Amino acid sequence: MKLQLMTGVALAATLLAAPAMAQDPSAPPAYGSTQLSSGFTPDPMSIGLRAGGAIDASQASDMCWGYITHQPSYNLDFEAGNAFDLYFSAASDVDTVLVVHQPDGSWACNDDGDGIGLNAGVMIENPQSGTYNIWVGTYGSGAGYEPAMLHISELAFSTENIYSQSPDASMAPEYGATNLRAGFMPDPRTFQVQAGGDVNLSRTTGTCWGHTDQAPDLWVDYEADGEHRFYISMESESDTTLMVEGPGGDVFCSDDEIGLNPGIRIDEPMSGRYAIWGARYSDGADVPATIYVSELGYLGEVDTPPVLDYSLPSNYGSTTLTAGFAPDPYNVPMQAGGDVPVMEAVGGNCRGYATTAPDYDITYEAGSFDLYISATADRDATLIVNAPDGSWWCDDDSAGDLNPGLVFDSPMSGRYDIWVGTYSEGPLADATLHISELGWGSEFLPSPQLDFSLESNFGGVSLTGGFTPDPYIVELVAGGDIAAEEGADQFCRGYVTAQPDFELTFEPGMLDLYISALSDSDTTLVINDPSGNWVCNDDGSEGLNPGIHFEDPQAGVYDIWVGTYWEGEGAPAQLAISELGFLQPE
């Protein structure tokens, strides 16, 4: 290999001299130039340089990516032959790009060359003679100027990088090596290490995190038996990470699997060498840490596989139902959720978190009806059912509105064990299990109603005709989670709470009564008048503001809701009660 490396002084001077402008093929190349003729030796010719820049490479061509300097990194004056293609490749610890300006003025660009990972490679078929202006950039912005190597060849791309500080599993481990066979004792094996180093894993691997050394901390040569899982974990008083390279070259990473401690579980370990790096999450001095190697679990503690166990007593009881049962649906209130990851316990398309024991079980004698099992909850819920033949059935949102539902066509007689889970891990959620032969249980639930007997959200007032000040203003928050057309009257609109927002007790005089709302959001009004009638409005005042005009108003109680037209967060609003007119924006 022929290597040209620019000195540090000249390199720094060149970088400082680069102005922030568009790329310029005529500018002097930052790292020099050379003349080559087809058949040149040695092949490849390699040049040490720094990749990167502040100019978006797409300024050269829409087909280019990354960030480059305004002047080329290197120029090649090439005399082509007829036998070879021309290969340009760039190797670095960071994701590189190549931008090549060809003798005919066209551009050739690449991010990740064929077969060379995150290293860039451009192949020119039937190359022209002339000058090739070559930029070596970085895919991401703000990467600085990273050490890299440019390779020019007529044979193939090259990934050789003498500046690499990437983790190297072939380097001798800093804290020794050990040989283990499946079933080893004692378990766990522990190793005292110093976690940390100068290599930034997020930049050199792209998939792992933390800072470590180039050499691994530990080699473990492991003979697997196909029956044991393999656990590698680390414990420290600092926030640490782990990287493991397995026998097949697969890389495993972990950050916070056990609190701030990392842990890697390999379900089907291969026999061979595992290179292990202990890293510190943030840059800084190395920290003491203990690496655990185990077949039991993280930190050597027994890892109990997650399971849904239908042999356990159900959390909320059981029942026996025969086709044609009444009432239908049969409803069971419960708490949905748990700490068992359903996908790990059951597999397939099952989702959510549930308890180990079933929530409910039914012994069902089938007839000519289909069987519907569904749930409603105040959070996104899931449903898991073990049928009489032992098969698993799962659902997430088939019953609508994030509610799960399963329908068994021509159901079997026997026992159905049922779990109601929450889609996300967290606290339990109030839920109702529905068992029916008619449809989803949510179809039979009564719609929530507006209840004027409840205490109002923002108080109340008694007013007599001729009241002052006029208008009477109430500051409140509009909105809620009940659709007014379902909770009050089909002609009402918006979303409100079950309880009124304000209660007006009114003794009329000679004037009409105006009730309106003013908000920056689209609001609605829902009023239950003294006769018990529902009176509603959307945009009766100015703009998107609602207003209701009562001519010859009745004496009595007016329960008032201020809603938002769209479902969602509440909106600050002013409720105005007047005998003069609707409240107008200033």
pLDDT at position 503: 97
Give kind and range of the element (H or E) at residue 335.
strand 330-336
Closest CA to 222 of 179, 252, 266: 179
Q: Residue 35 in contact with residue 132, Cβ under 8 Å?
A: no
- The pTM of this model reads 0.43
Cβ-contact 390, 378 below 8 angstroms: no
- The residue extents of the domains of the chain are 2-153, 177-300, 318-444, 460-578
Q: Which residues contact 537 (CB under 8 A, 6 or more apart)?
A: 524, 525, 546, 547, 548
So what's the pLDDT on residue 12?
A: 35
Q: Which residues pair with 182 in a beta bridge?
A: none
Q: Which of 19, 20, 49, 50 is nearest to 34 (CA)?
A: 49
Q: Which fold has domain 460-578?
A: Jelly Rolls (2.60.120)
The class that CATH gives domain 318-444 is mainly beta
Handedness of CA 508, 511, 513, 516 (dihedral sign): negative
> Which tokens sit at 569?
């967060």
Cα of first residue to Cα of last residue in the chain, in angstroms, is: 80
Which pLDDT score, from 0 to 100, does residue 202 have?
Answer: 77
| In the block, residue with structure tokens 């390779």 | 151
Q: What angle do CA 358, 334, 480 make, to 5 degrees?
A: 140
Looking at residue 162, its pLDDT comes to: 86
| Within this chain, domains 318-444 and 460-578 share the same CATH topology | yes
3-state SS track over 536-547: EECCCCCCCCCE
Q: Which residue has the tokens 């109002």?
A: 456
Please state, in angstroms and rounded to a whole number, the distance separating the CA atoms of residues 143 and 141.
Answer: 5
- DSSP three-state, residue 212: strand
Contact 134, 75 (CB under 8 A): yes
**CA nearest 431: which of 333, 315, 552?**
333
pLDDT given at position 113: 86
| Angstrom distances, CA of residue 433 to CA of 215, 328, 377, 415, 456 | 56, 12, 9, 16, 32
Check if the beta carbon of residue 219 is closer than 8 Å to that of residue 273.
yes
User: Do residues 279 and 210 touch, judged by C-beta distance below 8 A?
Assistant: yes
Q: Are strands 318-322 and 360-365 parallel, antiparallel or unpaired?
A: parallel
Q: What kind and span of H or E run contains 189?
A: strand 189-195
**Which residues, at least 6 apart from 470, have a Cβ–Cβ distance to it below 8 Å?**
578, 579, 580
Q: Give the CA angle between residues 190, 195, 200 to the nearest 5°.
A: 140
Give me the amino acid identity at 179.
N
Contacts of 480 (CB under 8 A, 6+ apart): 495, 496, 497, 498, 561, 563, 564, 570
Q: What is the C-alpha separation between 156 and 115, in angstroms, rounded? A: 11
Fold of 177-300: Jelly Rolls (2.60.120)
The secondary structure of 108-143, three-state, reads EEECCCCCCCCCEEEEECCCCCEEEEEEEEECCCCC
Quote the pLDDT of residue 302.
73
What pLDDT score does 39 carry? 94
Q: Give start and end residues of each alpha helix (H) in 305-360.
A: 342-346
Residue range 2-153 forms a domain whose CATH class is mainly beta
Instruction: Give the separation between CA 56 and CA 17, rounded to whole angstroms.
Output: 18
Euclidean distance between CA atoms 465 and 510, whole angstroms: 7
Q: Which residues of the chain have pLDDT under 70?
A: 1-21, 142-144, 203-206, 303, 445-447
Give residue 446's pLDDT. 66
Residue 334 to residue 506: CA distance in whole angstroms = 44
Strand, helix or coil for residue 203: helix
Distance in angstroms (rounded) separating the CA atoms of residues 438 and 324: 10
- C-alpha Rg value of the chain to the nearest Å: 36
Spatial separation of the C-alpha atoms in residues 240 and 257, rounded to whole Å? 11
- Give the DSSP H/E element, type plus range, for residue 10: helix 8-17
Q: What is the DSSP letter of 247?
A: T
